Amino acid sequence: MIESKSAIDALTQFILENKNKPFIWGENDCCLFAANALLAQTGYDYAAQYRNRYTTRLGAARVLVNDGHSDLVDVLTSALGDPVPRLMARRGDVVLVDYEGELTAGIMYGNVVVQGMNKIETVSPLNIQHVWSVK
């Protein structure tokens, strides 16, 4: 959980600067959106090993399988540790939500923010499936 004022200010600034960016595989997809939000908050790039390795949905799936992961839960757990109970979600934490029928990585920010096809979208916290507390 990220609680410092400077981290939350950095997250707010990140959201404002990226609110109208489109979804692009390997550049601004759901996982890289979440990783970029964490980078803004923490200065650490949790997705460094995945950057510049894919440009399509199939390519992303291949990278994950080739790196030994079975799904998004496995990837996020590998990077961030074990998930915490859903009710423990705090601003700045990484979450997986049901967004338009698919599991999508996002960031807790009051509501959940996720990368939509054309801009950042908000999703109800009721759609949270998993939470990773980020310290």
Give the residue-averaged pLDDT of 79-87. Answer: 96
Mean of per-residue pLDDT scores for the chain:
94
According to CATH, the superfamily of the domain at 5-132 is: endopeptidase domain like (from Nostoc punctiforme) (3.90.1720.10)
pLDDT band at 5 (very low <50, low <70, confident <90, very high): low
Show me where the domains of the chain are located. 5-132
Q: Are 41 and 48 in contact (CB under 8 A)?
A: no
pLDDT tens-digit readout, 63-78: 999 999 999 999 999 9
How far apart (Å, rounded) are the C-alpha atoms in residues 36 and 51?
11
- As a 3-state breakdown, the chain gives helix, strand, coil percent values, each rounded to 5, of 40, 20, 40
How far apart (Å, rounded) are the C-alpha atoms in residues 40 and 134?
13
